[in-house]
Structure 1
């Protein structure tokens, strides 16, 4: 697996067990978990202020779409991707071009999606 040592990641996921699983996979890849948010208000605040290199966004946060968080990240120029069990149909048209990983996913799929989100210009690839 690639080493994403020092890559600062924000995890936005409302299911505690799933969040822990994602964090474990990220740490195995060498990432640093800057913060984890389970609710939209908290996630919006972190997206606006945290020093991060990448964010993983669950599409549905306790019944609220995470698209406002994605808008903030897009405005800041921070790469992100969505994590969902709904597939591509769960994304709004505004974010149809963003990388997406379907739940459940493996560490290899996570690694591949991180690579897509960061793009080929990232020196960690």
Structure 2
């Protein structure tokens, strides 16, 4: 699905995680985490910055919208993938994005923001 300068692929969705990270460095969810693994590919002719924390939102069946948990993103990605990645044309980044949602929540869709300064439409992926 294309959104602005990137083509996005949702690789997997896993909900019900109580914490993210390893045994020493981790963060616990207020509710539970839904982990979305996404690939962002630069489909333009120049390098662009990708930041999953400001690009993605998740929605549930009741219309509630969730933002990614930045701390979980730091602990859940070994090399900070998805945080201020400069992606050259044709290259891609695969990142884990975590949403802290109430326990039992099932996500209905993910929205990839095309950007503030573009005429492109946001990309919405139904899960």
Give the TM-score taking structure 1 as reference length: 0.28
More strand by share: 2
Larger Rg over CA atoms: 2
> Which structure: greater helix fraction?
1
RCO (CA 8 Å, sep 6+): is it higher in 1 or 2? Answer: 2
